[in-house]
Amino acid sequence: MMRSSAFANKSYAILGLARSGMATLDALHASGARILAWDAREELREAANDKAIIADPMEADLSDYDAIVVSPGVPLNTHPIRDKAADDGVQIIGDIELFAQARRSLPPHRVVGITGTNGKSTTTALLHHIIQSAALPTHMGGNIGVPILSQEPLAAGGVYVLELSSYQIDLTHSLDCDVAMLLNISPDHLDRYDSYDAYAAAKVRLFDMMDPDHVAIFGSTDEKTQLALQLIRAEGRVKNIMDSSAFFLEGQENWPSLQGPHNLENAVAAVVAAEVLGIKEHQWRPALASFKGLPHRMERMAEAEGVLFVNDSKATNPASTGPALGAYPKIHWIVGGLPKSDSLEECEPYFGNVVQAYTIGDAGPMFGELLAPHMPVDPCEMILTAVQHAAANAKPGEVVLLSPACASFDQFKDFEARGECFRNAVESVIENNLIGTAAGGSIE
C-alpha cells in the first residue's frame, strides 16, 4: 500500500468502507493518521474496528478534522454529508485526492488521467498494457482495477494510469496530471447533476488542476468535447493540446479485442498518450494486437458453428452501444434493461447492421416500439430467452451481441452480473447444440 508522510498526525473521517474506502483506511492508518470511519454495513464497520474510531460522521464533531473522505458512490447532491462538512468547515475529498497529496513523497513518476462518458476503462487498460509492453513500471487504478492507495509505489520513472469518473473528479482538487485525457461526453449520470452542462463541467475540471506545461488530449468530435477543447485552448491555461480525433491508425483488422469505430477512437487516444510518454511505434503497435480487452466490454466470449458471441454488458447507454453495433455487419442484438433515456438515436446509424433485435428488461416494450419499424424484434424479457432465440436464428458469420444501452439495475446488481448471466446462457446454448436451430419467433 502507499504510505505517505503527508498524512502523518492528521485526522480524517471516512464515509464508505467498500473497496476504495478500505484501501484508504489502510493507507491512512499505515501513515500514522487518526481516523474516524463509518459504513452502513455492520460487517465493514467491524473490519475497520482495529484501525479507526467507529462513528457516524453525521453525528460527530469534525471541526478539527483535515478532511472527510467519501466514496465516489455517495451522492453529494443529495447526501447530508455535504451540509455537515460545510457546517464543520471541513473539506470533502476522495481517495484520488489523497493520492495527489501523497505524490511528493513518491519516487519520481508521471500520471495519466483518463475521463469521458464512454471508453474510459478500455482506453485505460489499453494504455496500461502498452506501457507494460514497453517495459516501463506502471500501475492502473482509479475507477478500474485495484484502488490506487492499496498499491505499492512505483519505482522511479513509473507511470500511474488512472481512470477517473466524474464523481472521482468532483472529490479531487489537486491532481496535476502529466497527461490528461477527455475521450468524449454524452448525457449520463444526470441524477447526480443539475444539468447535462453541469455533468460536462465536472469532466472538464480535470484540466483545471493541470500544470500549463503538461499535455491535454481530447478524443472525440462530439459537441461537448470539442467545446471543452476550444475553451481550454482559448483560455490558454494548458499550452500542449492534442486533438486525437484528427488522427487515424491503420491495422484495426489485426486488433481482435479492439473492433468497432469506438475502439478505433480509444486506440488512437491511447497511442497519442503513449507517444507523449516517449513510447515509439515499434513498441505500441504490437501491443494493440496483443491486448486482450476487458471483461464485459466487447468481450469475445465464444465462437461455435461459425457464430460469434460478444459480451458488451458494460454498454450502459445508447452512446456506448451505437459504435458497438458498427463493429460487425450482421448482428443479433440483445438490448434493454433500465433505460437512461427514451431514445436510441445514437444507435440509429448502425441499424443496418442488425439482423434482429431481442429486447429484455424494463426497456423492452419501449425499445420494441422504437425498433420495430427498422428491424425484426423479438420481445424476450430475460437474457436466457434472448440468447436462446438469437443463437437459434444466427447463421455462420453472424454475431450474437449483448449491448444493452441501459443500466442493469432492473434485473441485476450491476453490469458484471448481467454479463455473467449472458456468459452462462451462451455456454448453455453451445452445450445443448442450440445454434442455428431456428427456434423462437419475432414480431415485425
Q: Provide the annotated active-site residues.
A: 120, 143, 189
CA pair distance 367, 340, nearest whole angstrom: 12
Q: Is 253:107 a contact under the CB 8 Å cutoff?
A: no
Q: b or e along 275-288 (b: 16 or more beta carbons within 10 Å of the residue's beta carbon)?
A: ebbebeeebbbebb
Give the DSSP H or E segment for 420. helix 415-431
Q: How far apart are CA 189 and CA 120, in angstroms?
A: 15
Polymer length in residues for the chain: 444
**3-state secondary structure at position 413:** coil
Unique residue bearing C-alpha cell 455537515: 84
The alpha helices in 31-170, defined as continuous H runs, are 42-47, 81-88, 95-102, 120-133, 166-170
Torsions phi, psi of 255, nearest 5?
-115, 85
C-alpha 309/C-alpha 298 separation (Å) is 10
Amino acid letter, 284: W
Cα dist. 350→227, 229, 250, 302 in Å? 26, 28, 22, 23
Nearest residue to 422 (alpha-carbon basis) of 351, 342, 358: 358
Distance CA 407, CA 189 (A): 11
